Amino acid sequence: MDTLMTLLTIVVATAVVNNFVFTYFLGICSYLGVSKRVDMAVGMGLAVTFVMAIAGLLTWLLNNLFLSEHGLLGYDLTFVKYIVFIFVIAGAVQLVEMYIRKFHPPLYKAFGIFLPLITTNCAILGACLLVDLQTDRFSYVAQGMMGLAKAVVYNVAAGLGYTLAIVLMASIREEIEFADIPRPLQGAGITLLIAAILAMAFQGFAGMAG
């Protein structure tokens, strides 16, 4: 029960209180680019969540079991971790794409062009790096295998938070499609101002759930 509560707290704290888009500014490029229609926003959000979970699992295992000096190899190899992380993410995206194309063609059609784009989505690498930075919350040394569970839950929650943010934005942008926006603000300008108002609303959660 205790474990469940800890994991639930991580979900709320990551998806809502410290939303990746509104507090860490991660994944802004795709947030501004792919938020014109709700169905595309949902596709992008789910694809990001999916890859984030897999990348989080793999990078945690590699980082804690092989690269850390407390790992199996016994050497401090953390200086290559960025190279390893980006390799793992690019590989994970490729594998996920191949797997989905082979076994779930309808899903592949739904994800479409989003999957390859995700490699350069900074939210994925950002989530892995944030897990890596908070050693006392997630590392094997401090938490044992519980660290892995927490890290994966953290990554999934981060992806869900991103999905929430991008779907909210897409719903608003669909509504203002025919609004009379001043010409200099059209496109990026008005999107950023809407994001500001959404971010203000999300500031209201600050301090909740640890």
Partner 1 sequence: MSETDLPGAGERFIRGILPENPVFRQLLGMCPVLAVTAGVATALTMSAAVLFVLVGSNLTVSLLRRQLVPHLRILVYTLLIAVYVTIADIVLKAHLPDLSRALGPYIPLIIVNCIIIGRAEVVASKQRPWPAFTDAVGQTLGFTLALVLLASVREILGAGKWLGFQVLPDAFPKWGIMLLPPGAFISLGILIAIVVWSSQRQARKAREAQLAATVTPEVA
What's the min distance (Å) between Cβ of 36 and partner 1?
14
In whole angstroms, how close is the CB of 39 to partner 1 at the nearest point? 23
Element (H, E) at 86: helix 81-103
Q: Smallest gap, in angstroms, from Cβ of residue 200 to partner 1?
A: 4
Residues in contact with partner 1 by the rule CB under 8 A? 22-29, 32, 79-80, 82-83, 86-87, 90, 119-122, 125-126, 129-130, 133, 182-185, 188-193, 195-197, 199-200, 202-203
Q: How many beta carbons lie within 10 A of that of residue 118, not counting itself? A: 25
| Residue 62: its H or E element | helix 38-62
Pick 125 or 166: Cβ nearer partner 1: 125
Smallest separation, CB 33 to partner 1 (Å)? 8
Q: How many CA atoms lie within 13 A of 119 on its CB side?
A: 13
What's the closest the beta carbon of residue 12 comes to partner 1, in angstroms? Answer: 18
End-to-end Cα spacing for the chain: 18
CB-count burial class (<10 Å; 0-12, 13-18, 19+) for 144: exposed
Yes or no: say if 174 and 37 are a contact pair by the CB < 8 Å rule. Answer: yes
Phi, psi for residue 134 in degrees, rounded to 5: -90, 75
Nearer to partner 1, 53 or 165 (CB): 165
Closest to partner 1 by CB, 138 or 202: 202
* Cβ nearer to partner 1, comparing 86 with 209: 86
- Residue 65 or 86: which CB sits closer to partner 1? 86
DSSP letters, 161-196, are HHHHHHHHHHHHHHHGGGS---GGGTTHHHHHHHHH
Instruction: Report the nearest approach of partner 1 to the CB of residue 19 (Å).
Output: 9
- In the complex with partner 1, the residue whose CB is nearer, 32 or 107, is 32
